[in-house]
Structure 1
Amino acid sequence: MGTVMESTGVEGASGVQDNLESNEIELTKIGIMRDFIQTQNPSAKDVDDFMIRRFLRARDLDIEKASSLLLNYLSWRQAFIPNGFISTSEISNELAQKKIFMQGLDKMGRPIVVAFGSQHKPSKGSLEEFKRFVAYTLDKICARMPRGQEKFVCIADLEGWGYSNSDIRGYLAALSILQDCFPERLGKLFIVHSPYMFMTAWKAVYPFIDNKTKKKIIFVENKKLRPTLLCDIDESQLPDTYGGKLPLVPIQDS
């Protein structure tokens, strides 16, 4: 028994050492990346280490690729959100559809977002407004994250979804903004009440989802919906539409 315990202790110490070395490598690369991006874009001085780390992790700690991604994001933000924020008046058609809600935290302290696919009406807005809405939503989510938390959980509810809700261009635009401008923000995506006809749209979008994001997506069977959600979300934090205790709050009111 003594041999087993000694072996376990060595393995544990090795794991701690590996984590320390990994953290040191990240810190070193964060410093190198910061110096580089600041020479390329003066606004990079306002970027904190957490953001640099997220972009590094999104590109497997490759400084060159991560720097390119972050610099592209800064340029996109300066052009797409020149005022620093998107006002509700810029996305009034999207907000009127009442399709994104936010309430509660999962067991890891990640904010919970609920999106209703059947409420998305591409014919009632433009692609540009929808893109602004996606950026507005992600900014809102990030602003609501508890201190020390960097990710959120989303429940994509497709009950009642039909072809009139299908919007491949919109889905791809939203995916691009999430992956390229808000990397390492999505913690988990539950897709629930998915109708068979949705799979046509899913097959069109799936090839554009990066491998890191694919691992975070879970299709939930209807009969396993509540127990699956309760594995990650306490009943006190679960939206009431799924039998929990919290009423849903529109994203603009969260």
Structure 2
Amino acid sequence: MSSYIAAGTSRPSSDEEKKVRTMRALVESQDLSAKDLSDETIRRFLRARNLDVEKGSSMLVKYLQWRREFVPNGHFNREDVIGIGGLLNTLYLQGYDRIGRPILVVLAGNHKPVSNIDDFKRYAVYAVDKVCSRLPSGQEKFVVIVDMKGYGYANNDARAFTAGLSILQDYYPERLGKMFFVHVPSVFKAAWKIISPFVDKNTKNKIAFLESKKMKAVMGQDIDESQLPELYGGKLKLVSIVNS
């Protein structure tokens, strides 16, 4: 896998490195906890704001405050999410794509709207942190396959979907490498028209809606058959993220 990792990363320029140092000093002046951040973390927030130091710094300071308030222990354990009904059969952690990015599978047809949106957010953060813990050295991004098979009005939950995208955009910038939507029903296409204005341009550029007849061929360009779940013609069995 290591031979592919370099292809999935972008080497920083000397100007970018200078901006990382400037941004670190600016953020540390506002939040001392930033001293513990790696240059890679600061660089991701900088890149998320098109190398604008002030905007990147503002985004990072908001992230640090959010993390302290929403994840006060630094992380969520399996026990923190195992009791959240309607969500435990939705997320599966699989193999890696051809450039070393971990793969998260979302079975949206198994989703049941939750009454407490913070429960959903807690589960989403647990999941993204779990995926990030699987990142190989030198790789910073992951891939998501959103399977809409069986998705209907009972699963339609624009509030949760928007919250999930917001968490990715605002608190895990430059982590999403690509997001495939497969088996997309008309009910979701209508919901997407409502949701899409809240999705930033960078995230939209990473989203692909695949037709069923082209699904395996297109995903196969990024993911080897040995790393693709069985339900997409690959060889891996699904493994729930809470059991991985």
TM-score range, shorter chain: over 0.9
After TM superposition, the structure 1 = structure 2 runs for residues 75-86 of structure 1, keeping only pairs within 5 Å, are: 75-86=65-76
Inter-CA distance 96–218: structure 2 relative to 1 (3 Å threshold): closer
**Could you tell me which residue of structure 2 aligns to residue 135 of structure 1?**
125
After TM superposition, the structure 1 = structure 2 runs for residues 25-36 of structure 1, keeping only pairs within 5 Å, are: 25-36=15-26
Cα displacement (A) at 1:243: 1.3
Percent identical pairs in the alignment equals: 50
Which amino acid letter does the alignment assign opposite residue 206 of structure 1? S
Which amino acid letter does the alignment assign opposite residue 23 of structure 2? M
Cα displacement (A) at 1:225: 1.0
CA contact (8 A) 1:121 1:164 kept: yes
SS of 2:93 mapped into structure 1:
strand
**Could you tell me which residue of structure 2 aligns to residue 121 of structure 1?**
112
The 2-side partners of 1:110 and 1:30 are apart by: 24
Cα displacement (A) at 1:193: 0.2
Cα displacement (A) at 1:241: 1.3
Cα displacement (A) at 1:88: 2.5
**Could you tell me which residue of structure 2 aligns to residue 65 of structure 1?**
55
Query: Which consecutive residues of structure 1, in runs of 5 or more, have no partner in the other structure?
Result: 1-18
**Could you tell me which residue of structure 1 aligns to residue 242 of structure 2?**
252
1:101 pairs with 2:120: no
1:144 pairs with 2:131: no
1:90 pairs with 2:117: no
Runs of 4+ residues deviating >4 angstroms = none
Give the number of the structure whose residues are more often helix, by fraction.
1
Query: Which consecutive residues of structure 2, in runs of 5 or more, have no partner in the other structure?
Result: 1-9
TM-score when normalising by structure 1: 0.89
Inter-CA distance 187–83: structure 2 relative to 1 (3 Å threshold): same
The 1-side partners of 2:144 and 2:154 are apart by: 23
Which amino acid letter does the alignment assign opposite residue 191 of structure 1? F
The 2-side partners of 1:84 and 1:144 are apart by: 17
SS of 2:186 mapped into structure 1:
coil
Which amino acid letter does the alignment assign opposite residue 181 of structure 1? Y
**Could you tell me which residue of structure 1 aligns to residue 209 of structure 2?**
219
Q: 1:194 aligns with which of 156, 179, 184?
A: 184
The 1-side partners of 2:152 and 2:120 are apart by: 19
Cα offsets for 1:186-222 (capped at 9, x unmatched) = 0000000001111121111100110001110000001
Which amino acid letter does the alignment assign opposite residue 109 of structure 1? G
CA contact (8 A) 1:101 1:250 kept: yes
**Could you tell me which residue of structure 1 aligns to residue 14 of structure 2?**
24
Q: 1:238 aligns with which of 215, 228, 241?
A: 228
Cα offsets for 1:58-89 (capped at 9, x unmatched) = 00000000000000000000000000111223
Cα offsets for 1:158-183 (capped at 9, x unmatched) = 00001111111111111111000000
The 1-side partners of 2:153 and 2:117 are apart by: 17
Q: Select the structure of larger CA radius of gyration.
A: 1
Cα offsets for 1:88-147 (capped at 9, x unmatched) = 233222576311001111011100110011111014x52110010111111111111111
